[in-house]
Amino acid sequence: MGIYVNPGNSGFAEINDQDYVDKTMLIEQINRTVGKKDKLTCVSRPRRFGKSYAAKMLAAYYDCSCNSHELFADKKIAGTSDYRNHLNKYSVIYLDITAFTADAQMQNRSMRDVPGMIQEAILKDLAECGFQVQNGDSLNNNLLRIVGQPDGKRFVFIIDEWDAVIREAKDDPEAQKKFLTFLRGWFKNGQFTPKVVAAAYMTGILPIKKDGSQSAISEFEEYSMVKPLFFGKYVGFTEDEVHCLCEENGVDFKTMKHWYDGYAFKNVGSVYNPNSVMKSIRYDDFDSYWTETSAAEGLMDYISRGYKDLTRTIAELIGGVAVKVSITGFANDLTTFRGRDDVLTLMIHLGYLAYDSENQTVRIPNEEIKLEFQKAVREVKHEATMKRLEESDQLFLDTIHEKADAVAAQIEKIHLEETAPLHYNKEDSLRSVIKLAYYTYRDHYVQFEELPGGEGFADVVYFPHHDSDWPTLVIELKWNKSAQGAIDQILNKKYANVAERFGTDILLVGINYEKNAPSGKRRHTCSIVKYEAK
């Protein structure tokens, strides 16, 4: 066994404990490709979505230097027809590219040196594992000779964090080009690839970097957060898996769903961030576990760019509005942006936004990521963004101090500003306007829409955080009626009953939009009253 060549199964054995969620059917997807024309697979997904777990699992399964039957005997993959045909039958080259980029940084070397460092490490490992290596010859030629021996086995290449060089050398196109050329030598080489490569599995955050308009390694079948296809169920935990985990650990599933649900794929349904789910169970605490500094700094960089309509779009997203996006043309790197859509597409791949392929829209997926946006947007120095923050903060103060005319004026201002994206006279736009106007709510509140209460559903309810002394806000919206009529409906339908048990003060907020108001008259009116429990 070596470090990079035939590393054994200890990596998978370490994570194969009582908490392991069985994702071994991913192996079946790769088995179907072994030795076939579609044997090169690249699966991209965000940070902390289990990329390394999958890589370790595949290495343990294919590595011929160990016996992994006991590790997989009780797993789903053991019930498939091809299970024994491929179990521990190949030599494996397993690389975590972040280890090499880290070494380069520690040694004060350039990212351009990484391909040479990888080749040196593999050649050394081959020799130490007992393979016949001819010194002075290239890695590829040595691998061709090894596979050509009478007992030679083809290699399964498993590359974790393949895009580490692309990310670390984001401002060094030459380093990126050199690394992609290195990968082409393995996976786009008519003399090498068919003879040496039984299969390849690459995973990273970004899809494969484009060379012009095409993938730089076009032979790979790619499965991303935009289009995962049949790899969707392996991107993260499915809803059934999370439901089982909650039952086994005595965790409230509805709260788990509120915090970590939001990504969804065709034929799969909801998908959850595995790291966040497991940490919330382990720590018995629901919170944002996307605390990695580089991730937070990256988010601030992306949302602060000066592209047309980006500031408005971020406000819409934070307010809970799904926005249209075009994902075509994205260069699959961290620096090549043509405008707003490229920034949004990158944020899909990074996990900050969830993509709806049917409607071609994006939204912030869940409470965890909403918190990250809320933190980041407070640090953005754009004048327009800061103005929105100040206006939203003031709107909350005007609401809790019952300044109904000021509230109506601000709602009208936001509605006028958002005419184009929200279709001014469309009836469902008023709720979107409310969410945009109150978009800093996470400083003090948790937001619910269509909340069941009494004899119906309250349009929007803001419940204060447990450590806040702000009142609960129950908001009812009307169209071409009256603000007082909205208040009467809250009272008659007993919408506020659901908030009584929290023991906070409750304000009832009625907002009406008069579509055909006379010229010079305000179209939005507001009424605010304190709720008195009976």
DSSP conformation letters of 53-95: HHHHHHHHHHBTTS--HHHHTTSGGGGSTTHHHHTT-BEEEEE
What average pLDDT does this structure show over 301-326?
Answer: 81
| The pLDDT value given to residue 107 | 96
pLDDT tens for 506-530 read 999 999 988 777 766 678 999 999 9
Identify the residue with better confidence: 311 or 264: 264
**Whole-number Å distance between alpha carbons of 205 and 214:** 18
**Whole-number Å distance between alpha carbons of 340 and 514:** 33
Q: Are 5 and 125 in contact (CB under 8 A)?
A: yes
pTM here is 0.80
Q: What percent of the chain has pLDDT over 70?
A: 93
| The pLDDT value given to residue 291 | 60
The confidence band for 424, taking pLDDT boundaries of 50, 70 and 90, is very low
Q: How far is CA 306 from the centre of its chain?
A: 23
- With a cut of 80, say whether residue 10 has pLDDT above it: yes
Q: E strands within 114-215? A: 155-160, 197-204, 210-211, 214-215
The confidence band for 451, taking pLDDT boundaries of 50, 70 and 90, is confident
Q: What is the overall mean pLDDT for the chain?
A: 88
The confidence band for 425, taking pLDDT boundaries of 50, 70 and 90, is very low
The torsion angles phi and psi of 27, rounded to 5 degrees, stand at -60, -40
**Which structure tokens are listed for 486?**
């909205």
Q: Are 42 and 208 in contact (CB under 8 A)?
A: yes
Q: Are 465 and 444 in contact (CB under 8 A)?
A: yes
The confidence band for 297, taking pLDDT boundaries of 50, 70 and 90, is low
What average pLDDT does this structure show over 203-211?
Answer: 85
- Which element (helix H / strand E) includes 119? helix 114-128
pLDDT tens for 127-174 read 999 999 998 899 999 999 999 998 899 999 999 999 999 999 988 999
**Whole-number Å distance between alpha carbons of 118 and 135:** 16
**Whole-number Å distance between alpha carbons of 376 and 87:** 46
pLDDT tens for 462-479 read 999 877 889 999 999 998
**Whole-number Å distance between alpha carbons of 444 and 463:** 8
In this structure, how many other beta carbons lie within 10 angstroms of the beta carbon of residue 16? 22
Q: Which residues lie closer than 8 Å to 276 by C-beta, 6 or more apart?
A: 48, 259, 260, 288, 289, 290, 368
| The pLDDT value given to residue 422 | 45
- With a cut of 80, say whether residue 113 has pLDDT above it: yes
CA distances from 447 to 103, 129, 391, 434, 451 (A): 45, 58, 18, 11, 10
| The pLDDT value given to residue 519 | 65
| The pLDDT value given to residue 428 | 64
The confidence band for 421, taking pLDDT boundaries of 50, 70 and 90, is very low
Report helix, strand and coil shares of the chain as percent, to nearest 5.
45, 15, 40
**Whole-number Å distance between alpha carbons of 60 and 66:** 8
In this structure, how many other beta carbons lie within 10 angstroms of the beta carbon of residue 298? 18
**Which structure tokens are listed for 291?**
């605390």
pLDDT tens for 51-104 read 999 999 999 999 999 999 999 999 999 999 999 999 999 999 999 999 999 999
Q: Which residues lie closer than 8 Å to 362 by C-beta, 6 or more apart?
A: 317, 322, 323, 325, 344, 347, 348, 353, 354, 355, 356
